[in-house]
Amino acid sequence: MSSLLPDNAPPPPAAPATMDAPPAGPQAQPAFLLDVRSFAEFMSGHLPGAHCLPLPQLEARMRELCPDLAREIVVYCSSGARAELALATLRRLGYDRARYGGAARELAHSLHVTLIPGM
């Protein structure tokens, strides 16, 4: 299974754990990319494979979007501020493997991907 980061890439700033190791185990999944910006912001450019769940809807809809509490989640937004708030909410909801991804542009740069517009 491929990882989110190439082997030589540094982790995103302020990430408590690296995301450069391949997922372990036969049924491991890649990290769940969670964009907590508004839908309009998401449509203007997001990471490939990311899911849009605006911060005001996070608590009510996260279990619907990602029912696996053990899945690694990388949360990001425009500047990192909403991602920090979202991270606290995710941890309170039981998502212990949630990680701070920071700002969309910086995270895309560190992952060596381009933000894509639209769906």
Residues with a catalytic annotation lie at: 77
Backbone angles phi, psi at 13, to 5 degrees: -55, 140
Whole-angstrom distance, CA of residue 5 vs CA of residue 51:
18
β-bridge pairing 73-77 and 98-103:
parallel
State the CB neighbour count (10 A cutoff) for residue 119.
7
State the CB neighbour count (10 A cutoff) for residue 81.
13
Whole-angstrom distance, CA of residue 56 vs CA of residue 66:
16
